[in-house]
Chains A and B, each alone.
Chain A
């Protein structure tokens, strides 16, 4: 393990414990970040054997990054877990359903094919798989409907700016959730960027960011995706690489560098892409001047609350979406008590540990309900699926991406 030395920096102070959403439910030292660091250290020192149980212990984590943000010793838990999970996968394999899932994420053509079948409502293999991964607490019936056609295929590659002369070109990295399920987010992103006077390019050859794979330890599997995306998106002639999903965003802006470090890949290339990559909300806040005259002052009044995705909050983000809400004239923001707590989804965590996940998400929902908001804004479709999937039928609050709010408030 490359990150091995880092483990020894854990001073066992336990400060991380208070930040860990899994621990708050599990109340066992074994699930604390401190506990995992110590177990991994003992494993590295050779006095704790590799086992399926150890594999399960290091998987019992939402990868929310709360511990890392708090750690006085500056430990990068994510890198250590990634490397450790890789070792565990090599020793004990990965559960077959996830293997297929990861296989699909790294084989874009097959993923498209499966998603296509699933969208048509045919009893496809993908749907069975999906139903079974049922995904923890989420009923298939409330999973988002799949796009008829993947967004990247349906949408033209080049969109001209609305203004006569474009201010520049941006590349739009379309996340899988948008590509296969939430095409309306994709349209909103394009609409807003065009209104900002930018030329937008969508790259047909783009593939899944790979984060769900490498965080689970599938570093080698994810490598081909990462290298492909780096080669496509590292372009000098563009202003920025825009992401619409906090998770993809964290992959592009920091995850790729970590994976390349662990595997000994091209770190410089990953760093180059990282500099250009920016989340859509942050990008809009940064250049709000370009947009402000286009906002309709008469737009419908809405009451919203907000969920801060872990991949934004704990990975260098700065609640840009909150700043956006502040900039919109007709949006009333009512904070939920725990707006910056993890939703409990955590990639495949909600599938692996449904009981803990359910407890976490139910608390979030109770607090969001209490705000009386019409919309629950969040910039991560992953969180969105988990939060929406756990709402009751009677709930009137609806999940929405910040960029959709903006698009809705544009004139015409």
Chain B
């Protein structure tokens, strides 16, 4: 509970209609897509940078934690108020302020839903490449704070590659502006990169300027089935080595295709060890020749069966199979934990085989999918957190998966971030000096530790 005087001061900023501290609201903001829960003391819906700045000043004065929140879709506990405090919920601060096709940028408020931005941009034949599977309900603020990625980031890069500038409210309540609307801009430190991926621990993002890209003219989508997982990685490597950068190269292992078939019956063949979905986009002539080359490569590296989507419906149903994995698996048990370790592309088969062995050893049910083109592996584990014995096996397996990733020169997280879920594993990847520097940066920006406390630093 906030003290009455603090509550009064906050209400004076956002009014009664955008301040809540009833039990129902506090429960609704006690969770995100992860398993841990903890209630905040109040939930506020800011609409403008100035309001956020005023709120921050009061929080600073009274030493109250502040947690920025977008769609609450992160999978790592990034928005869980483990030390209570104020949740700043950005869903109502959701205007697209400018779409500039001539200069290829857009300016948005943090609460804009990714898919809504795509919809607006498509009207002028543009798009914003980062496409997390959660794009229908995650916000640009959350995408930026998590440096989110998605299948087509293989070709186009992740959220961080599209940030030209931002407006950030610091822990003190001061407002800063990073970057500009220019693609080329080396004026000063690249502060946008500091805040991108900082999971709300360094500052509150209240406006973002993003680079946008014209929509491609056409797509070709190929699916290839393999008897040997290692062959998939050889295919991926060879495709890239030929200078073809597909929009996406997605891998599903046998357990996953079978689980999908058991539960959704989409008609995927069950007998193969691995399946790759490869998509190219661009000018029609170019993508046709690329598609042919890819089929040849797949064949030469052992693909048993190669099919191409003949219509946009066939393309959609392939992607549906891929995107239904999380859903299909979560039907099977109360909780679904998606790990996110990433390894160099050449290590993908070794990683998948290793992960499967770990899962089997601990008797855990999981499907494995991967953004194979960038080595981002998602074991999708199904479990019941109420079963403490099983949950501890899941935790042990996760720790072993991280260790394996690091041994293969990989990293903890490719896109989901650290939050609470992976905090304890940071030392596996970051040495003491590096962690110390992170602490120095955190202290410099947030000396009282008010911004999203308890999270990765």
In the complex, A49→B26 CA distance in Å? 13
A29 in contact with B72 (CB, 8 Å): yes
Residue of A13, A35, A42, A54 ringed by the most chain B CB atoms within 10 A: A13
B137 in contact with A14 (CB, 8 Å): yes
**A251 lies within 8 A of chain B by Cβ:** no
Distance from B70 Cβ to chain A, minimum over Cβ atoms (Å):
11
B72 in contact with A27 (CB, 8 Å): no
Q: Determine the main DSSP class of B at the interface with A.
A: loop
A30 in contact with B331 (CB, 8 Å): no
**A154 lies within 8 A of chain B by Cβ:** no
- Residue in contact with A48 in the complex, picked from B24, B72, B89, B334, CB distance below 8 Å: B24
Residues on the B chain within 8 Å of A53, using CB: 22, 24
Interface string of B112-142 (1 = CB under 8 A from A): 0101000000000000000000101100000
B94 in contact with A17 (CB, 8 Å): no
Residues on the B chain within 8 Å of A121, using CB: none
A12 in contact with B33 (CB, 8 Å): yes
- Residue in contact with A57 in the complex, picked from B24, B29, B33, B111, CB distance below 8 Å: B24
B330 in contact with A11 (CB, 8 Å): yes
In the complex, A231→B89 CA distance in Å? 52
In the complex, A48→B22 CA distance in Å? 11
How many A-B contacts are there with CB distance less than 8 Å? 87
- Residue in contact with B136 in the complex, picked from A12, A18, A27, A35, CB distance below 8 Å: A18
B330 in contact with A38 (CB, 8 Å): no
Known contacts: A18-B115, A57-B24. The answer to whether A11 contacts B334 by CB under 8 A is yes
B137 in contact with A30 (CB, 8 Å): no
Among B67-86, those with CB < 8 Å from A are 71-73
Q: Determine the main DSSP class of A at the interface with B.
A: loop
Interface residues on chain B, number (Cβ under 8 Å) = 36
Interface string of B29-50 (1 = CB under 8 A from A): 1111110000000000100000
Distance from A73 Cβ to chain B, minimum over Cβ atoms (Å):
5
In the complex, A8→B30 CA distance in Å? 16
Residues on the B chain within 8 Å of A51, using CB: 23-24
**A74 lies within 8 A of chain B by Cβ:** yes
Distance from B76 Cβ to chain A, minimum over Cβ atoms (Å):
13
Known contacts: A27-B94, A29-B72, A30-B24. The answer to whether A12 contacts B331 by CB under 8 A is no
- Residue in contact with A17 in the complex, picked from B25, B137, B328, B336, CB distance below 8 Å: B137
A72 in contact with B330 (CB, 8 Å): yes
Residues on the B chain within 8 Å of A10, using CB: 334
Residues on the A chain within 8 Å of B336, using CB: 11, 13
Interface string of B294-333 (1 = CB under 8 A from A): 0000000000000000000000000000001011101100
**B28 lies within 8 A of chain A by Cβ:** yes
In the complex, A18→B327 CA distance in Å? 15
**B27 lies within 8 A of chain A by Cβ:** yes
Distance from A68 Cβ to chain B, minimum over Cβ atoms (Å):
13
Interface string of A34-59 (1 = CB under 8 A from B): 01001100100000110101100100
**B3 lies within 8 A of chain A by Cβ:** no
**A9 lies within 8 A of chain B by Cβ:** yes
Interface residue ranges, A against B (CB under 8 Å): 8-15, 17-18, 27-30, 32, 35, 38-39, 42, 48-49, 51, 53-54, 57, 72-74
20 additional A-B residue pairs with CB within 8 Å, beyond A11-B33, A38-B31, A72-B326: A8-B334, A8-B386, A9-B331, A11-B335, A12-B34, A13-B330, A14-B73, A15-B137, A27-B91, A27-B94, A27-B111, A28-B45, A28-B89, A29-B29, A38-B28, A39-B28, A42-B27, A49-B23, A53-B22, A72-B324
Q: Which 10 pairs show the lowest CB-CB distances between chains A and B?
A: A72-B327, A18-B136, A27-B91, A17-B137, A35-B28, A29-B28, A30-B28, A18-B137, A14-B73, A11-B330
